Amino acid sequence: MKVMIIGIDGLDNELLTKFEKDLPNFKKLRERSPLIKLTSVFPPDSPTAWTSIYTGKNPAEHGMVFFKDPFSKSRYGSYIGNDISGKTFWDIAGKQGKKVCVLFPHLGYPVWPVNGIMIGRTTEVDIKKFDIQTWPKEISTKYDLSGLKPMTSYPVNVGDIIEPTKEVILNEVELASQLCRDFNWDLYFFYSSSLDNIQHLFWMYYDKEDPFYWEDNPYENVIPDFYKFYDKNVIGRFLKIIDSDTVLIVLSDHGHAMRPAKVANINEILRKKGFLKKKKEMIGFENTFIDKMKNAILSVIDQYRIIGKMASIFLKLFPQGLSFYTNITPIDNKSIAYLSDPSGGIKAYSYAGIKINKKIIDDSSYESLRDQIIKILLSIESPGNSGKLVEWAKRREEIYNGKYINKYPDIVFKLKEGWGAGLEINEKIFSRSRSHKLHSGNHRMETPVLFIYNEKIEFDLKRNLELMDIAPLIFKFLEME
Ligand SMILES: [Zn+2]
């Protein structure tokens, strides 16, 4: 069998079900596909999740994991030292003689030699100059590679991003279908990043539960419209191309939901319990320059939609602003434990961790400290008698094992839906997220999508799968050793 994989970043299974009457092609996939509940990885960040799909390895094994440590200078989102080239499912299939055609994979830049074709492009367009590369090089002279730059995350007016994003998707599919016809492949992989960004930006306009939603706003249907757009122009198009010898896999790396609007300031809880101290010079630091800067940055983010153009100019400097924000910590380095999450506390994720400061504790007390802190986390009551705040809290080894397990904080936990982990100390324990409007949508671990489709064969597969199960499945369909 041949295998075609369509990867759509952030495609959410619950939204697909909700919109299904307007999505005839996705509906067709669901009706033919075995019923599978796919779960993403922890944390459900795109680089971490796609690397697990590519390699069949969990994040502690492949190491593409990032948690910001407030005491290190590492930049938000830096996955330095992790190179996936040569380790992906298309590399392994290629080594066994399968011809591959791999288009725009997340993290697939710079491209590397493959047994077939690979086109890769830079993803963080806000930070780096855009570039696109092909393997082999001749592809770039034979095909039109223009119009493939994904849209920037911070448009001046949020509505300005809609039409250009659709253009990019159409250009991607146009090139992809040409290569699909022109080239004799065994394994074909097409990846599209745009839906994820659209959901990050437009969630508050779509979701009536979002605190910033308002009735009859002009962007109410942007998210449902993009699902229809993908149904018609991506899934519909590829369904027409494939034959009965091809297994079509449509999948996403994580689902999407509302970013928490409420935060629980975990460091403040740790401080109250005696595990964390604030730097002396930071006590009463309301008047210091650093605090003023931090508040300035946060208020720009908070009012971003309102002050439009000015905020956009500021946000062009955002990567620097963000590293400034996340690198200056009010935590005293004699603290025993402190919050560590993938964003340095700025994005209010519901998934996070706690680092234990091994420099200042006895080795012998490490495990009992982890026990104590896990107990504290699990006992936190959310305000208004609405039950426990923390859904689960575990030692890191309880979720994954591998040589990079040290990249995880010592304790990992997940807050219940609607709540994010905040950094503030000496504030109230519960407050609202000041960065909600920047990105009102958020990755979700529970609801990625996996459809496996062939017009003749009905597959019988396990009901519950993880991202690490995808690569072996591809090898099985390709009838590899
Ligand atoms: Zn993603």
Helix (H, G, I), strand (E, B) or coil at 177: helix
Residue 281: which pLDDT band, with cuts at 50, 70 and 90? low
Q: Ligand 1 centre and the CA of 443: distance in Å? A: 7
Q: Ligand 1 centre and the CA of 47: distance in Å? A: 7
Helix, strand, coil percent values for the chain (each to nearest 5): 40, 20, 45
Cα distances (angstroms) measured from residue 141 to each of 112, 138, 323, 351, 407: 18, 5, 39, 45, 42
pLDDT over 90 at 1, yes or no: yes
Q: Ligand 1 centre and the CA of 436: distance in Å? A: 18
Q: Ligand 1 centre and the CA of 51: distance in Å? A: 11
Q: Cα–Cα distance between 408 and 110 in angstroms, integer?
A: 27
CA angle, residues 238, 452, 414, in degrees to nearest 5: 110
Q: Ligand 1 centre and the CA of 199: distance in Å? A: 11
Q: Ligand 1 centre and the CA of 165: distance in Å? A: 16
Cβ-based neighbours of 31, under 8 Å, separated by 6 or more: none
Q: Ligand 1 centre and the CA of 132: distance in Å? A: 20
Higher local confidence (pLDDT), 24 or 303: 24
For CA atoms 72, 75, 76, 81, give the dihedral sign: negative
Q: Ligand 1 centre and the CA of 45: distance in Å? A: 6
Q: Which two tokens mark 419?
A: 């709540």
Q: Ligand 1 centre and the CA of 108: distance in Å? A: 14
Q: Cα–Cα distance between 341 and 261 in angstroms, integer?
A: 17
Q: Ligand 1 centre and the CA of 363: distance in Å? A: 37
Q: Ligand 1 centre and the CA of 304: distance in Å? A: 23
Residue 154: which pLDDT band, with cuts at 50, 70 and 90? low
pLDDT the model gives residue 283? 61
Higher local confidence (pLDDT), 42 or 126: 42
> Looking at residues 427-446, what average pLDDT do you find?
86
For residues 267 and 279, is the Cβ–Cβ distance under 8 A?
no
- DSSP string for 312-340: HHHHHTHHHHHHHHHH---B-TT-SEEEE
Higher local confidence (pLDDT), 87 or 329: 87
Residue 126: which pLDDT band, with cuts at 50, 70 and 90? very low
Backbone angles phi, psi at 431, to 5 degrees: -145, -170
For residues 163 and 151, is the Cβ–Cβ distance under 8 A?
no
Q: Ligand 1 centre and the CA of 253: distance in Å? A: 5
Q: Cα–Cα distance between 91 and 254 in angstroms, integer?
A: 23
For residue 135, the 8-state DSSP code is E
Q: Ligand 1 centre and the CA of 434: distance in Å? A: 23
Residue 332: which pLDDT band, with cuts at 50, 70 and 90? confident
Q: Ligand 1 centre and the CA of 31: distance in Å? A: 25
pLDDT over 90 at 250, yes or no: yes
For residue 296, the 8-state DSSP code is H
Percent pLDDT > 70 in the chain is 86
Q: Which two tokens mark 353?
A: 């961790």
Q: Ligand 1 centre and the CA of 251: distance in Å? A: 11
Q: To which residue do tokens 């324990």 refer?
A: 429
Q: Which residues sit with Cβ closer than 5 angstroms to ligand 1, an ion?
A: 9, 46, 196, 253
Question: CB count, 10 Å around CB of 478?
Answer: 18
Q: Cα–Cα distance between 468 and 400 in angstroms, integer?
A: 12
pLDDT the model gives residue 328? 64
Q: Ligand 1 centre and the CA of 46: distance in Å? A: 4
Q: Cα–Cα distance between 78 and 427 in angstroms, integer?
A: 29
Domain with CATH 3.40.720.10 in the chain: 2-257+443-477
Q: Ligand 1 centre and the CA of 441: distance in Å? A: 12
Q: Ligand 1 centre and the CA of 194: distance in Å? A: 10
Q: Ligand 1 centre and the CA of 113: distance in Å? A: 25
Q: Ligand 1 centre and the CA of 11: distance in Å? A: 9
Q: Ligand 1 centre and the CA of 376: distance in Å? A: 31
> Looking at residues 254-275, what average pLDDT do you find?
94
Q: Ligand 1 centre and the CA of 196: distance in Å? A: 6
Q: Ligand 1 centre and the CA of 238: distance in Å? A: 21
The mean pLDDT of the chain is 88
Residue type, 39: T
Domain 2-257+443-477 has CATH 3.40.50.970: no
pLDDT the model gives residue 384? 84
pLDDT over 80 at 198, yes or no: yes
H-type alpha helices, 153-213: 162-182, 194-206
Cis ω for the linkage preceding 150 (within 30 of 0)? no
Q: Ligand 1 centre and the CA of 250: distance in Å? A: 14
Q: What is the pLDDT of residues 353-363, one digit of tens each?
A: 999 999 999 99
Q: Which of 140, 100, 94, 132 is nearest to 117 (CA)?
A: 100
pLDDT over 70 at 310, yes or no: no
Residue 194: which pLDDT band, with cuts at 50, 70 and 90? very high
> Looking at residues 70-75, what average pLDDT do you find?
73
Percent pLDDT > 90 in the chain is 72
Q: Cα–Cα distance between 439 and 343 in angstroms, integer?
A: 12
Q: Ligand 1 centre and the CA of 209: distance in Å? A: 23
Q: Which of 269, 239, 220 is nearest to 378 (CA)?
A: 269
Q: Ligand 1 centre and the CA of 427: distance in Å? A: 32
Q: Ligand 1 centre and the CA of 446: distance in Å? A: 13
Q: Ligand 1 centre and the CA of 254: distance in Å? A: 6
Backbone angles phi, psi at 225, to 5 degrees: -65, -35
Q: Ligand 1 centre and the CA of 95: distance in Å? A: 27
